[in-house]
Amino acid sequence: MNQIKHFFNSDQWDASFQLVSLNAAYSDPEVITKDDIMIGVNAEAESVLDIKPLQHTCQMFVFSSDEKEYLQQYIQMEGQDTYLWNIAINPRGNTGDIIGTFSARLSWLPHELHMDGQFQFIEGFDASGEVIIDDMTAENEYVITGTSVQFFTIRWVKNSYMFDLNAGWNLISLPLVPENPDLSVLFPDAEVAYVYRDGSYETASQLEPGLGFWVNIPSAETYVIYGDPFSEYSLSLSTGWHMLGALSTRITPETDSETALSVIFGFKNGTYMEVNEMKPAMGYWINVIEDCMITLK
């Protein structure tokens, strides 16, 4: 398997996020229909208070570290392995109808999120909810719908990936190349792991990027895996089923024959689903109807 490693020279960056109301248009120029914040990392921490106009159709701010101030800009001090930005978004604002469905589009420029690591967009305050966007560098917007304030977290983890595993069986893969691939090091609570080779299951004591693994966890846990991004591989497949892994970014696999790939299934929360693309950290069942070379890059 071929591996490509990416490194960046600077740990300093900033990125702007814009919220645009998708509600009814307003002719009054004093009614603000968009909002923005800036987050980032620098040698010195910096913050700017959020001051809203009287009338706005959507609202967004980021909390200070002590949760006492509402900020428009929050630059944290460099040197950490993990950063969290807790943000509040109100897709309704404070003007217009009080009944109905209200939406606003949050957008950003992926190239501004250039620090080597993983950017995630997570539901809930302080990264307490479901991961909505696993790789924010692969997408550039998200629509929020509702009638009141909703809380989200932008989480960055350096050269790592955070696994939120369910109790029981999880079909996973490694989006990174770890320094130590031992199962006992990566997932110390795991009872057993299986890999599928040549038509049968085998127990796995080490996990290899590019392959899918069934990992059994006695209770729901979060694990952080460190390593370099796993960015590309090619593999020769025989006709039949194969359990493969994804890359560090979302990707659609390609085969050297247009008719070879039959179907791809993912597994999440106890259910199989047919998919067209492969997401980081997930394992997949792939069926090919003729011998082929499959490539992910």
Residues 96 and 23: their CA atoms lie apart, in Å, by 9
The number of beta carbons lying within 10 Å of the beta carbon of residue 297 is 13
CA distance 125 to 84: 10
Residue 6: what pLDDT? 31
Environment class of residue 86 by beta-carbon count within 10 Å: exposed (0-12), middle (13-18) or buried (19+)? buried
d(CA 32, CA 29) in angstroms, rounded, equals 7
Residue 265 exposed, middle or buried by CB count within 10 Å (0-12, 13-18, 19+): middle
Task: Extract the tokens encoding 108.
Answer: 């950003």
Which among 81, 80, 60 is positioned nearest to 72, based on CA atoms? 60
pLDDT on residue 228? 82
pLDDT at 87: 97
pLDDT one-digit tens code per residue, 273-291: 999 999 999 999 999 999 9
Whole-model pTM: value is 0.59
For 31-58, give one letter per residue: b (16+ CB within 10 A) or e: bbbebebbbbbeeeeeeeebeeeeebbb
Which pLDDT score is estimated for 26? 65
**Separation in Å, CA 248 to CA 16, 111, 130, 165:** 24, 16, 19, 17
Q: What is the mean pLDDT of each run of 10 residues along the chain (297 residues)?
A: 35 92 75 92 94 86 94 93 93 78 94 83 89 90 94 88 92 93 96 95 97 97 88 94 93 92 94 94 96 94
Q: Which of 142, 89, 94, 100 is nearest to 119 (CA)?
A: 142
Domains of the chain, by residue range, sit at: 13-158, 163-296
Which residue is listed with tokens 């069942």?
285
pLDDT the model gives residue 9 = 39
